[in-house]
Amino acid sequence: MDKRQRRKLTVILHADVVGSTILVQRDETLAHDRMQDSFRRFSETIRAYGGSTHELRGDALVAEFDRASDAVCAALAFQADNAQFNDGLDGDVRPELRVGISMGEMVIADRTVTGPGVVLAQRLEQLAEPGGVIVQGAAHETIPRRLPFEYKFLGEREVKGFDEPVRAYAISLTPGQIIPSPEGHAVRKGKWFAASIVGLVLIVAGGLVWFQPWVVREEPASVERMVHSLPDKPSIAVLPFRNMSGDPEQDYFSDGLTENLITTLSQLPDVFVIARSSSFTYKGNPVKVQQVAEEFGVHYVVEGSFQRAGGNIRVHAQFVDALSGIHLWAERYDRPWSDVFVLQDDLTRNIVSSLALKLSDEQRIQLSRHYTNDLEAYDYFLRGQAAFYGYSAEDNARAREMYQRAIDRDPDFARAVAALALTYAFDYRFGWNDANETSQKRAQELSRKALAMDDTLPQVHLVASVVHQFGRDHEGAIKAAQRAITLDPNYADAYLAMAFSQTHMGNANGAIGMLKKAMRLNPNTPSIYYVAMGRALFFTGRLEESKRHLERAAEMNPTFLETHVLLVAVWNQIGDQHEAEWKAEEVLTLEPDFSVEAWLDNEPLVDLTYADTLRKSLLRAGLPERPVFVTPETD
């Protein structure tokens, strides 16, 4: 590689002259001079807004910026100035530019710039009208909504040279408004104000509008430091609301408030929402919005606190644009406990309004739906959720008790019925609480009942998928998981459920694709995700990758038997018999009665090739095929 080559993630502006060939045919010398003059003036505008012009290519220009908002301001300011400038030209050689703006990688070698980000900006620019500006969806998400711009969503466009469709927006200045520069100066569409006193007023006013000293700010996050790239849609992480009640027993409600907000927002197809289990890794730990955005790769962060005293509740919430550090809104809600559902609706509406999302009537109805109208039933359900996430036999039994109390209060509480089904399914799968075939049958009955009560809830379909999977009905499991994803495109656990069933059916490659989506939605990845990925990679022969994922899962949860069983098989397939036998000893330490036969009988694998590969690998490592019965010594 050329040592002078540099790569960077940046905001890229690409501009070209519309119909340059026709202009040259009209008057080659004049066209060349006027095009170069346009680029000279544009370069001056770019510098004024903190950008750098890297390259002029005859009829095209490439520049970079630190912020998409600066690139847009520069583009719109120039387009306004150029329209006025062209009005004063004689003849029909009047260069008009179109502009594309993207966020991506730029490669700088000598004096040439290339890279996927530059190509994408060029492709977007080709979608623009003369004098227009097109912005990539990811760049659009970084532009503060306080700026006086209007956006027209052009849909997900197929772009030459890129596998995935790109969300594109046409951007323009709101009529009658001004474009603030980073320094606080104001550019008016149309004529520049000549009077110095008016200019001074505009500079001061523009500065106040831009800097807004009355607005609360955080330290802004850096796109370059983000672990994951920004999605091409509004991306949000909802942090666990802090329980300020002075009573740890109230944690279940603050957690429930957070989970409800995540669940509701995640059902909107035009929003990317981080999964609950990732957000909750920050519970109880002070964390900066900047850190959350950079670790999760999101644009916005919701945080807040909850306090309950007697029959009243107080909730503080704030919605932060992490890339600018600005609090888009902050609100305090003082409500009676009986208004908790209305409070949740208000929180959701404020976020949707801040993002300027256009919702269909069906989506508005969806956002305002409640699982139950019985406050006591809802309270029991939240207590059940808090217990369930402990993932142990005792926690599962406690959750079942709470879910049953919720159902006793409200027999039509479909989500509680589905959650109850899941407790029986988990008992059956993991051998908890003296589970037997009756536990699996009970799970199936309750799952069918929940679906009959309300088949519009994604959680109900996820439970159905899990129950089908444990019963080895993987076609039914995949169908149910797909329905859950349709209802909730951000449902990480639904992608996980589908991945497990795809692997069991013999489609490990498809499972890997599902797991990548699940892990992006759930970036602080739970150990079970690593187990699922390790299993799928094992069956595709990607053994080193499989080992890395399974070892990560074992670090996170050292007592989960399945992880160690799979590691035995992986080491055997790699060819390290000594390591495989050592791992087999770990399995027998965790489960002295382990046998390959019993393990495979309990595994929902239906693909015979996969099952045979796993069986042979475990047996070669020395694990017993059948239970070993030790005869007691006699005198």
Give a three-class secondary structure readout of 474-530.
HHHHHHHHHHHHHHCCCCHHHHHHHHHHHHHHCCHHHHHHHHHHHHHHCCCCCHHHH
pLDDT digits (tens, 9 = 90+) for 372-394: 889 899 889 989 988 888 878 89
Q: Report yes or no on 441 lying in a domain.
A: no
Does residue 284 sit in the same domain as residue 137? no
Does residue 17 sit in the same domain as residue 149? yes
- Could you say which DSSP state residue 227 is in? S
Does residue 167 sit in the same domain as residue 24? yes
Does residue 123 sit in the same domain as residue 243? no
Q: How confident is the model at residue 295, as a pLDDT?
A: 94
**Alpha-carbon torsion 352, 357, 358, 359, what sign?**
negative
Domain boundary, last residue among 356, 390, 425: 356
CATH number at residue 554: 1.25.40.10
Q: Residue for token digits 């964390």?
A: 287
Does residue 165 sit in the same domain as residue 269? no
Q: How confident is the model at residue 604, as a pLDDT?
A: 76
Q: Report yes or no on 496 lying in a domain.
A: no
Does residue 18 sit in the same domain as residue 150? yes
Q: How confident is the model at residue 514, as a pLDDT?
A: 96
Q: How confident is the model at residue 217, as a pLDDT?
A: 57
Q: How confident is the model at residue 79, as a pLDDT?
A: 92
Question: What's the chain's average pLDDT?
Answer: 85
pLDDT(24) > 70 = yes
Domain boundary, last residue among 324, 356, 388: 356
Q: How confident is the model at residue 444, as a pLDDT?
A: 94
pLDDT(187) > 70 = no
Q: How confident is the model at residue 557, as a pLDDT?
A: 86
pLDDT(635) > 60 = no
Does residue 245 sit in the same domain as residue 140? no
CATH number at residue 108: 3.30.70.1230
Q: How confident is the model at residue 97, as a pLDDT?
A: 95
Q: Report yes or no on 293 lying in a domain.
A: yes
Does residue 136 sit in the same domain as residue 250? no
Torsion, Cα of 28, 30, 31, 37 (10° steps): 140
178: left (phi over 0), alpha (psi -120 to 50) or beta: beta
Does residue 159 sit in the same domain as residue 253? no
- Cα–Cα distance for residue pair 469/520, rounded to 1 Å: 23
pLDDT(188) > 90 = no
Does residue 158 sit in the same domain as residue 270? no
Q: How many domains does the chain have?
A: 3
* pLDDT band per the 50, 70, 90 thresholds, residue 436: confident
Q: How confident is the model at residue 182, as a pLDDT?
A: 55
Q: How confident is the model at residue 405, as a pLDDT?
A: 96
pLDDT(96) > 60 = yes
Q: How confident is the model at residue 181, as a pLDDT?
A: 60
- Cα–Cα distance for residue pair 347/319, rounded to 1 Å: 10
* 101 three-state secondary structure: strand
Q: How confident is the model at residue 111, as a pLDDT?
A: 62
* pLDDT band per the 50, 70, 90 thresholds, residue 110: low
pTM to 2 decimal places: 0.67
Lowest mean pLDDT: which of 37-46, 78-87, 97-106, 216-225? 216-225
pLDDT(614) > 90 = yes
pLDDT(362) > 90 = no
Q: Report yes or no on 438 lying in a domain.
A: no
Q: Which range in 285-294, 430-439, 448-457, 470-479 is most confidently predicted, on average pLDDT?
A: 448-457
Q: Report yes or no on 484 lying in a domain.
A: no
* 611 three-state secondary structure: helix
Q: How confident is the model at residue 398, as a pLDDT?
A: 94
Q: How confident is the model at residue 148, as a pLDDT?
A: 86
Residue range of the domain that includes 624: 526-635
pLDDT(13) > 70 = yes
pLDDT digits (tens, 9 = 90+) for 195-232: 333 343 333 444 433 334 334 456 888 888 999 989 98
What is the bridge-based pairing of β-strands 242-243 and 300-309? Answer: parallel
Domain boundary, last residue among 153, 175, 197: 175
Angle between helices 414-430 and 375-388 (to 10 degrees): 20
Q: How confident is the model at residue 633, as a pLDDT?
A: 52
Q: What is the mean pLDDT of residues 334-356?
A: 81
Does residue 241 sit in the same domain as residue 170? no
First to last CA, the chain: 78
Q: Report yes or no on 376 lying in a domain.
A: no
Question: How far lies 118's CA from each of 62, 101, 464, 500, in Å?
Answer: 8, 9, 46, 39
Q: Report yes or no on 333 lying in a domain.
A: yes
pLDDT digits (tens, 9 = 90+) for 457-487: 999 999 999 999 888 899 999 999 999 999 9
